[in-house]
A and B are shown apart, each in its own frame.
Chain A
Amino acid sequence: MSRIIYFIISVLFISCDLLLTAEHRRYPESAEGYFPVYSTEATTTIAWKAARAIKAPGKIYVYGDYLFINEVSAGIHVYNNLNPAAPEPLGFIEIVGNSEMAIRENVLYANHMGSLVAIELSDFSNPKLLGRVTISQWLYGVPPPPQSYFECVEPGQGLVVGWKKRTLKNPTCYAN
């Protein structure tokens, strides 16, 4: 229950003038906007996938000759950066809801939504999940695109991992 409250607080912080706007904005009956894509840890697994194009790069991490690039809320691109003039894509570690990472002694620590997972990386084609621990007060979801109407978030449905464009009826949330 407290996690839900903290999530709501975090959403308010993401667009901190949301409340103010709600009082003054006149909402249309219908508008182009975004609806949230929810996910939960129970419905997603961590998997090694073929290399894919980068669409929304997030944080980066360097470990030895390897380069890790977060794909916002989707996972981690892995490159062999031995030759920085031509980084070679190796693959993609699918971790829905991921935003953060760090590596120690060949073990990747990353957030899988609200959990910290430890993944053994010595063999890229076979990442092994070593452990999973809940992160107290972790509450991040992807904020809605700015200057747009969006379907208000219902935290009970899971973590927001993305937004899809849609015509919204009677929208009551707007991101500044």
Chain B
Amino acid sequence: MRINLILLLLIGAACGEPNFSESQGTGSGGSLSRFAIRDEYLYLVTGYTLNTFSLSDGSFREVNSSTISFGLETIQAQGDFLYLGANDAMYIYSISNRAQPEFIFRYSHIVACDPVVVQGNRAYVILRGGTPCNVGTNQLEIIDITNPYAPVLLAQYAMTSPGGLGIFGDCLFVCEGTAGLKMLRVADDVVTPLLELSEVNAYDVIVKPNSILLTGEDGLFQYAYTCQPPALTLISSIPVQRAEF
């Protein structure tokens, strides 16, 4: 019933002209993005550097490039901080001075560690094992980043083959490649499995308040969801047209 309401709301919202703007002026990318925008600066990670670009009118230029470590893959910006996902660690940088990111902390693992999403004072980090380069466990970690100089591990949860992830409120979505999509509840830093879509190939996800956008090898899928009671309903799909390399 609640799902129907959400669908009605979504359909109801679908009247009039599309809105080409955002309240913050920027949009949202998935957790696997190498680009992050904060105010008039764009931060990007190459394989081993963090580069800063000024986007101001008339001064579009690279203002900084710092060597971090090999194996950088993702970046998230929140408040005055950047969170970098790498093969061996999560890096926290301060951007109190937007033009010049400053190293704060390296949260390291012996196993592979990749994307990270941040909500409030919690970081949700994926540890990805079993790649040709790394053998380790596959798991989700919840880390208290209230003090960015001393992050504290709060919870660990075993996954199958985790990749991209996204969160809204207490509802966390983790893409598990061919093992599908998992919907987890993370209230009070306790991980509780809610739902699982095993038939989809899940690469990355963007989580909105009532819906998600999911990409994978088969295309792009939009689902409506509720966390309580747990429910996922397919709204639409844009399937891929298979191609030979």
Contacts and interface: CB of A to CB of B under 8 A. Distances in A.
Contacts of B70: 13
A167 interface: no
Contact of B47 (A10, A63, A130, A131): A10
A58 B164 CA distance: 12
Contacts of B16: 82
Interface stretch (B19-27, B121-129, B140-148): B19-27
Interface residues of B, number: 63
Contact of A84 (B27, B62, B211, B241): B211
B199 to A, nearest CB: 17
Given A60-B220, A100-B34, A138-B46, A16 B133 contact: yes
Given A34-B245, A54-B241, A137-B65, A84 B236 contact: yes
Interface in A60-110: 60-67, 69, 79-87, 99-107, 109
Most chain B CB within 10 A, of A9, A57, A106, A162, is at: A57
Interface in B53-99: 53, 55, 60-62, 65, 70-71
A122 to B, nearest CB: 7
A43 interface: no
B11 A83 contact: yes
B74 to A, nearest CB: 10
Contacts of B132: 15-17, 176
B46 A64 contact: no
A136 interface: yes
Contact of A69 (B10, B220, B244): B220
Interface stretch (B35-43, B103-111, B150-158, B183-191): B35-43
A81 B49 CA distance: 34
B221 to A, nearest CB: 11
A9 B70 CA distance: 10
B33 A102 contact: yes
A116 interface: yes
B14 A131 contact: no
B19 A64 contact: yes
Contacts of A66: 18, 20
Given A54-B239, A104-B37, A133-B62, 9 more contacts: A57-B215, A60-B220, A62-B27, A62-B213, A81-B222, A84-B14, A102-B42, A134-B62, A136-B65
